Amino acid sequence: MGGVITQSIFFYATYDVISTILSIPLSYYFTFVLEEKHGFNRSTLGLWISDTITNLAISLVLSVPFAALSLQITDYFGDSFVVYCMIFCMVWMCVVMTVLPSIVSPIFNKFTPIQDEKLKLAIEDLTKKVGFPLDKMYIEDQSKRTGHSNVYITGMPWSKRIIITDTFIDYSTIDEIVAALAHELGHWKMNHVPKRIISYQPQFFVMFTLFSAFIHNRSFYSSFGFADIQPTIIGFYLFYDIYSPVNLFMHFLNNLLSRHQESAADLYAKDLGYVESLCTSLIKISNENLSTFDDVDWLFSAYYRSYPTIAERLTALNYISEGNVSEESK
């Protein structure tokens, strides 16, 4: 059986390398044609090549052990692998979503402590108000690759870091930065990441349970040409194609939860008194990122949008632009 696992790991590493090679033309087009055309690209060819190689190395370092351990569990626990695979996936997701960003991000970007005293004080005031375990605050040099901007939180549950990209600082006031941070703190306060991880468990259960019906089915493997050997990972990939309609449905549910969490985080920032700055910040982010101000069909939106549209967010925050305020309502 060990040989089968080695073969499967070899398959996975090869799959990773080939999929990276196949994605190179699209990635090049995205960075140096699309993003360039709209003024977002700030990367160089050298940086893009080094990023591509580093991403592949990180992907191999993560995905090969993940595949190896999953296969060992499937092999070791036999027919009761479903529960153990679910537990393993949950632990893996916790590690990837909490520990990993602090390790991986510094490979790509430089993090400098925030120097602006006013900004530091404003952030400290907010974090104290909500009981956030702030450890450090950094500015990330995202501008060497892209004009896109962001504010986010990383670190362990008991010691967190706030990261603001230099691109976001460039066009935002202190109030707007703090308002965007209040939104992120809303995600933290309402445990959105753990809830997201838990929400994946029923999905894993459905997927692994259905997979257990295929895993030892010889005719399933042989109908795809694997008559002599039936590596589990090949079976999983073949199964995953059959599973894709179920996945499509899960995608709706995941986006529904994501949009709900985004709206809840907006309302959290509003309750803290940042509604005005949050609205102007959202408008600036939308403008700077050249986002479309679209009003699409609800079904399209339900499937493709993990965020409410900017119009939905401003409406939920009761935002009224100064230009639209009539004399009577003033």
- Give the span between the Cα atoms of 131 and 136, in whole angstroms: 15
Beta strands in the chain (DSSP E): 111-113, 134-140, 151-156, 159-165
- What element of type H or E holds 178? helix 174-189
- Give the span between the Cα atoms of 56 and 16, in whole angstroms: 8
Work out how close the CB of 152 gets to Zn ion at its nearest, in angstroms, rounded to a whole number. Answer: 9
Q: Which of 122, 105, 135, 110 is nearest to 181 (CA)?
A: 122
Residue 257 · residue 199 · CB < 8 Å: yes
Beta strands in 8-79 (DSSP E): none
Residue 145 · residue 197 · CB < 8 Å: no
Which is nearer to Zn ion, 140 or 262 (by Cβ)?
262
Work out how close the CB of 161 gets to Zn ion at its nearest, in angstroms, rounded to a whole number. Answer: 17
Catalytic residue among 184, 295, 297, 328: 184
Binding window for Zn ion (CB under 5 A); candidates: 69-77, 201-209, 263-271, 313-321:
263-271
The residues near 253 (Cβ < 8 Å, ≥ 6 apart) are 199, 203
Binding window for Zn ion (CB under 5 A); candidates: 13-21, 105-113, 242-250, 258-266:
258-266
Binding window for Zn ion (CB under 5 A); candidates: 22-30, 148-156, 262-270, 271-279:
262-270
Which is nearer to Zn ion, 93 or 190 (by Cβ)?
190
Number of residues that bind Zn ion (CB under 5 A): 2
Which is nearer to Zn ion, 31 or 172 (by Cβ)?
172
Work out how close the CB of 278 gets to Zn ion at its nearest, in angstroms, rounded to a whole number. Answer: 11
Catalytic residue among 35, 140, 176, 266: 266
Work out how close the CB of 187 gets to Zn ion at its nearest, in angstroms, rounded to a whole number. Answer: 6
- Give the span between the Cα atoms of 132 and 191, in whole angstroms: 12
Binding window for Zn ion (CB under 5 A); candidates: 24-32, 209-217, 242-250, 255-263:
255-263
Which is nearer to Zn ion, 35 or 262 (by Cβ)?
262
Work out how close the CB of 136 gets to Zn ion at its nearest, in angstroms, rounded to a whole number. Answer: 21
Binding window for Zn ion (CB under 5 A); candidates: 7-15, 67-75, 222-230, 257-265:
257-265
Work out how close the CB of 150 gets to Zn ion at its nearest, in angstroms, rounded to a whole number. Answer: 10
Is 294 designated active site? no
Is 327 designated active site? no
DSSP, collapsed to helix, strand or coil, labels residue 304 as helix
Burial class of 22 by CB neighbour count within 10 A (0 to 12, 13 to 18, 19+): exposed
Site string for Zn ion, 265-284 (x = CB under 5 A): x-------------------
> What's the residue count for the chain?
330
What DSSP designation does 111 have? Answer: E
Q: Which of 59, 40, 253, 217 is nearest to 142 (CA)?
A: 40
Which is nearer to Zn ion, 182 or 265 (by Cβ)?
265
Which is nearer to Zn ion, 55 or 258 (by Cβ)?
258
First and final CA of the chain: distance in angstroms?
Answer: 76
- Residues near Zn ion (CB under 5 A) are 262, 265
Question: Catalytic site residues?
Answer: 184, 266
